[in-house]
């Protein structure tokens, strides 16, 4: 037994080298995140323009957890979309295939039929009703580009098929993406398009989209919850996500039936964007004025944020802290201390809950079990964790304020 264990340890430390066959076959493995080439095609010349190509962040939903395709050298899986209607052109290229060298090997099947409908792009018009138009300065083009946000429902003619093509981008850029049941009429869809001209014609390019599900809240309210949000890679970093979220908030603010607006499993980047948008919106509320911010978080803030902007109490508190920081002279030790204690008081909530639970445990746990729980709630460690949480929050808030100053 000992001898066998020693052999296993040796093999783990010094794995056997690949034989010649394995080395040759390894040359036919391709990273599918690099092999998949995506493109939003506006003009025929874009097809051969390498600068317009971008790659997915994820491909495991199609090619397995290892994100590898076997059987090709120099593999390119070209999935091109017309910029507006998202009609697809699909091609597969490679420099060599495993069957060229090994008759007994078959490559993975990665090719499908494809069609190109680029010439019909001039006929494409955005779906739904126009909610908002805005401009973004493009340094490369040296001009302001025009964008539109539309609200759509699934009954809009042609939209169901368009959405089927649009949601394929989710697989490439959201790790845990899944498709939604569009037959449920509680879904709302919001789309962003770029409006541009070519040879005197007005054309539209798809920029991104958001899906929102309207949950029922007893007795007669709804709670819109952001489910999916994606800005296509060529348009990221230009502020379209913030424009979209603000437009969606303003859309639901007009409805007396909406309780508040939430998000499903928001990512870290989404939370940062939401902070920016909600702070920007709350600057218009009287309860968030400089004078009232210095008096602390109030029910007036909670009520006004909920009634006028459909912001829940948790998010209103976060907005308050960001604006309180903006109005605090952090070089003044006393004012900085007041702000720090205000934020830490909120952050301390989970620790206070643990202490209450420990008090209850004292009545039913054995001494050794109680000692184990107490050791996990070391006061010094809690203070260190609390201080780190505060520093992290402070850095996040400062980033929001920096973006706000540039807006």
Q: What amino acid positions are annotated as catalytic residues?
A: 264
How far is it, in rounded angstroms, from Cα 285 to Cα 207? 31
The residues near 319 (Cβ < 8 Å, ≥ 6 apart) are: 275, 278, 279, 282, 288, 305, 311
DSSP 372-404: HHHHHT-HHHHHHHHHHHHHHHHHHHHHHHHHH
Q: Is 211 left (phi over 0), alpha (psi -120 to 50) or beta?
A: beta
Q: What angle do CA 142, 144, 150 make, to 5 degrees?
A: 145
Give the long-range contacts of residues 157-161, CB within 8 A, separation 24 or more.
Answer: 158/127, 159/127, 159/128, 159/189
Q: What angle do CA 361, 364, 365 make, to 5 degrees?
A: 75
């Amino acid at each position: 037994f000992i001898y066998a264990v020693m052999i296993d340890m040796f093999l783990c430390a010094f794995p056997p080298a690949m034989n010649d066959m394995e080395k040759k076959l390894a040359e036919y493995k391709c990273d599918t995140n690099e092999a998949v080439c995506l493109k939003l095609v506006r003009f025929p010349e874009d097809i051969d323009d390498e600068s317009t190509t971008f790659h997915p962040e994820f491909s495991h939903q199609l090619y397995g957890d290892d994100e590898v395709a076997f059987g090709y050298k120099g593999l390119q899986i070209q999935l091109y979309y017309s910029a507006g209607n998202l009609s697809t052109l699909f091609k597969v290229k490679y420099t060599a295939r495993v069957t060229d060298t090994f008759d007994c090997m078959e490559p993975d099947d990665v090719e499908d039929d494809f069609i190109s409908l680029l010439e019909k792009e001039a006929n494409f018009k955005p779906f739904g009703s126009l909610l908002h138009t805005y401009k973004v300065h493009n340094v490369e083009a040296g001009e302001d580009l025009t964008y539109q946000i539309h609200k759509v429902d699934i009954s809009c003619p042609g939209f169901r098929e368009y959405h089927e093509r649009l949601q394929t981008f989710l697989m490439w850029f959201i790790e845990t993406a899944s498709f939604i049941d569009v037959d449920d009429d509680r879904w709302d869809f919001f789309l962003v398009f770029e409006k541009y001209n070519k040879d005197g014609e007005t054309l539209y390019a798809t920029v991104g989209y958001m899906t929102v599900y309207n949950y029922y809240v007893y007795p007669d309210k709804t709670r819109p919850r952001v489910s999916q949000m994606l800005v296509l890679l060529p348009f990221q970093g230009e502020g379209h996500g913030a424009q979209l979220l603000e437009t969606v908030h303003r859309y639901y603010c007009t409805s007396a039936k909406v309780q508040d607006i939430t998000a499903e499993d928001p990512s870290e980047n989404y939370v940062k964007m939401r902070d920016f948008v909600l702070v920007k919106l709350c600057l218009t509320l009287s309860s968030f004025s400089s004078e009232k911010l210095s008096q602390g978080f109030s029910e007036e803030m909670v009520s006004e944020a909920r009634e006028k902007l459909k912001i829940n109490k948790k998010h209103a508190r976060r907005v308050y802290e960001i604006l309180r920081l903006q109005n605090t002279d952090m070089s003044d030790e006393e004012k900085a201390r007041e702000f720090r204690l205000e934020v830490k008081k909120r952050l301390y909530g989970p620790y206070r809950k643990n202490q209450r639970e420990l008090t209850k445990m004292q009545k039913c746990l054995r001494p050794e079990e109680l000692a184990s729980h107490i050791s996990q709630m070391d006061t010094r460690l809690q203070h260190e964790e609390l201080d780190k949480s505060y520093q992290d929050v402070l850095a996040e808030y400062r980033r929001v304020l920096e973006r706000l100053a540039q807006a």
